[in-house]
Amino acid sequence: MPELPEVETTLRGLKPWVVGARIKELVVYDRRLRWPIASDLPEILAKKTIRGLSRRAKYLLFDVGPGSLIVHLGMSGSLRILEAACAPSRWDPFDLVFAGSPGLCLRMRDPRRFGALLYTEDPATHPLIAPLGPEPLEPGFEGSYLHARARGRTLAIRDFLMNGHIVAGIGNIYAHEALFLAGIRPQRAAGRVSRAECDHLADAIVTVLTQAIAAGGTTLKDFRGSDGRPGYFSQELNVYGRTGAPCHRCQTPIRRRVSGARSSYYCPSCQR
């Protein structure tokens, strides 16, 4: 579900509530996430204070110094601040309960259980974090980098962009939206994208992600920000999920094509 903008939306909503909060306890309702929640995690977290909250790719990092909590929302996860007394549902794997009154908690919901809750002493060297590519919204992310990494590669540019080890945080929606803005077909070999097109593509990625964050992310089905509200970027999508609908730029019907196990969307006229 959540790509970079949805995770960033979640982070911004949570920050005022969690930074500085003292942890009373971690209550685990269902350990079965992508990796089982470690049974000693409640012990590790008890009475710690959350000193900061940051994001790396689609991972949320709660600094409980020493050490950090890594949270990934998978395909269907979301995080909300609730009164701890509010009864959890069967889709809620855990509550991070805060000290103080009224008793508040950070509750995860994840019906598909592709999410994760992990603890690490040092996020920078954690095997999930260390190999990640650059953050597209940080300075220094440029077309020259994309062009260098793509050289000689035959996989589809869509799949290249979705590889977090190349660029952090881009999933199926924003890969397609950025490729539309840059005029490049999703299935073109990455190594066949010119330097000039890579410049355009890098700009398009920044534009799309920035606009999506401003809109509170994209809700297709079940994404909710930490305040429970959906994201509105779905109204601004140019190609994703718009099979047969007229291109916003030239009116040609948007085409859908299955590549790999996932759908691809593009305008056959605007994208080459």
Binding site for DNA (CB under 7 A): 1-3, 6, 32, 34, 57-58, 72, 74-76, 90-91, 111-114, 128, 153-156, 159, 162, 164-165, 171-173, 190-191, 217-223, 231, 258, 260-263
Q: Closest separation between CB of residue 6 and DNA, Å? A: 5
Nearer to DNA, 1 or 26 (CB): 1
The Cα–Cα gap between 48 and 113 comes to: 26
The Cα–Cα gap between 28 and 55 comes to: 23
Contacting residues for 125 by C-beta, under 8 A, at least 6 apart: none
67 Ramachandran zone, left/alpha/beta (phi>0; psi -120 to 50): left
Q: Closest separation between CB of residue 134 and DNA, Å? A: 15
Nearer to DNA, 143 or 231 (CB): 231
The Cα–Cα gap between 114 and 116 comes to: 7
The Cα–Cα gap between 219 and 138 comes to: 24
Nearer to DNA, 95 or 159 (CB): 159
Q: Closest separation between CB of residue 189 and DNA, Å? A: 7
Nearer to DNA, 29 or 49 (CB): 29
Q: Closest separation between CB of residue 23 and DNA, Å? A: 25
230 is catalytic: no
Sign of CA dihedral 70, 139, 154, 130: negative
262 is catalytic: yes
Nearer to DNA, 32 or 47 (CB): 32
Annotated catalytic residue within 2, 93, 134, 136: 2
22 is catalytic: no
Annotated catalytic residue within 3, 6, 177, 197: 3
90 is catalytic: no
Annotated catalytic residue within 24, 48, 55, 58: 58
Sign of CA dihedral 84, 86, 92, 93: positive
Per DSSP, helices labelled H in the chain are 4-18, 41-45, 143-150, 157-162, 172-182, 195-214
**Residue 211 structure tokens:** 């606009």
Q: Closest separation between CB of residue 63 and DNA, Å? A: 20
| Residues assigned a catalytic role | 2-3, 58, 262
